[in-house]
Amino acid sequence: AAEDKSFKYVVLGGGVSAGYAARQFAKEGVKPGELAIISKEAVAPYERPALSKAYLFPESPARLPGFHTCVGSGGERLLPEWYTEKGIDLILETEIVKADLASKSLTSAAGATIKYDSLIIATGSTVIRLSDFGVQGADAKNIFYLREVDDADKLYEAIKGKKGGKAVIVGGGYIGLELGAVLKLNDLDVTMVYPEPWCMPRLFTSGIAAFYEGYYKNKGIQIIKGTVATGFDSNENGEVKAVKLKDGRVLDADIVVVGVGGKPLVSLFKGQVEEAKGGIKTDASFKTDVPNVYAVGDVATFPMKLYNELRRVEHVDHARKSAEQAVKALKASEEGKTIDEYDYLPYFYSRAFNLSWQFYGDNVGDTVLFGDNDPTSSDPKFGTYWIKDGKVVGVFLENGTPEENKAIAKVARLQPPVENVDQLAKEGLTFASKF
Ligand code: FAD
């Protein structure tokens, strides 16, 4: 039967934030039995970005325990044994179906009650499904979404079972781009479909996107833009066979992967905690308006000091740092102390094929493209500056060295003024390396 338990600290969610929170608790000092991490997943916290990259490689794919947190940022790999040694309870395969913040208690699907003194909400995001919009046939077999290790295992099996088959990727965001690449590496015939005029439109300019689309085409990936999937046909076994597009085209498909975005998992707390911009509203220590309740990672809408604005960030670097900040603040508050407010510089990255880009800062204002963005070049290297109110506020770089990436991060943080935009385009990376 389900067992009732009680802890001083509970982290709800067992993803990236949870792993970095656990490490921070251990650093700050936590006694055996004080901390529990509750996850509906069956495994200890891991670096989620691996799932759309090395996890699906045709040769020696990454597998757990290889990528448990905190290896993704060059830190110690926390194996399940580490939690045992520290006396941290990993309560796995346990979905919380009810949260009562007033009585400080959580209820699992099996009916167990878990009580806490302080709670860190780290439930992350869930994928948006085509069935949410009533797309016809969207529940056919071999239509995949990717969020958790279980999803990746199912996709991996399908890839192995459909060698030489046809794959359709629905969505042109970073999940779509990474999966398109890795499915191609697995010798599938890949077609990508998205409604926007170019891929990753929320970050990429047309100039940046032109490079990636050209590169993908040269790899043999077909790209269909400006239309959406409106339905799916399946065979007598219920397996997907074709994707029907709004423009009337029909694409054969043995595997479909959908990456059309995510939504933060906040429904457990509806009406109990203040929300903002789709997430749980926090202060610069990730404290919510409910005493002793914090929210971190994808679900937190926090004050971004640099831009003087409330923002929600769905990227791994912020998941790590917000978790550390929340634990530091929580521990400090026990001693009546406060800590420096979170001062986050947005950092996103992605990798696919031999490509690797980084972005720092804010993608607002005018843009200046620099470098060699010819997709047929043997060693392309290019980037983009975003300029607002005469200052550089964001920088994107493909194929940067570690030093160059450090330099662009510094520029995005410092926001140096720009006198001459043509000059900036000519200088390119040299401009960034001056700071
Ligand atoms: P998650 O890591 O999603 O963890 C949430 C955890 O909470 C999960 O274990 C979930 O099962 C659990 N949970 C949720 N609800 C409940 C409940 N009711 N009961 C129990 N447990 C629950 N970002 C980048 O910057 N670069 C990348 O290259 C990149 N690649 C990505 C690739 C993929 C495939 C995915 C899915 C995401 C990627 N991201 C990337 C985004 C990044 O992984 C997330 O921003 C990050 O994982 C957020 O951390 P989190 O702790 O908030 O949530």
Tokens of 326: 């929340």
CA 255/CA 142 separation, integer angstroms = 5
- DSSP sequence for 237-250: TSBEEEEEETTS-E
Taking only the tens place, the pLDDT of each residue in 127-178 is: 999 999 999 999 999 999 999 999 999 999 999 999 999 999 999 999 999 9
Give nearest CA residue, ligand 1 atom 23: 315
Equal fold, 5-126+263-334 vs 354-432:
no
Q: Is 312 in the pocket of ligand 1 (CB under 6 A)?
A: no
Q: Looking at the domain that runs over 130-260, which CATH code has it been given?
A: 3.50.50.60
The residue whose CA has the least distance to atom 7 of ligand 1 is 13
Nearest residue to 311 via CA among 343, 289, 333 = 343
Residue spans of the domains in the chain: they are: 5-126+263-334, 130-260, 354-432
CB 261 within 8 A of CB 171: yes
Among candidate residues 90, 3, 24, 47, the one with its CA nearest the CA of residue 326 = 24
For ligand 1, pick from 12, 48, 294 the residue to mutate: most ligand atoms within 8 Å of CB: 48
Residue 124 CA, ligand 1 centroid: distance in Å: 5
315 lines ligand 1 (CB under 6 A): yes
User: Hey, what CATH class is 5-126+263-334 in?
Assistant: alpha beta
User: Which fold, 354-432?
Assistant: Enolase-like; domain 1 (3.30.390)
106 close to ligand 1 (CB < 6 Angstrom): no
Note whether ipTM > 0.85 here: yes
Distance 247 CA to ligand 1 centre (A): 34
Q: Which DSSP category does 133 fall into?
A: G
Condensed to tens digits (0 to 9), the pLDDT of residues 13-66 reads 999 999 999 999 999 999 999 999 999 999 999 999 999 999 999 999 999 999
Residue that is written with structure tokens 């790999």 in the block: 77
pLDDT score of 1 more than 60: no
- How many A from CA of 147 to the centre of ligand 1? 7
Q: What is the 12 CA–ligand 1 centroid distance (Å)?
A: 12
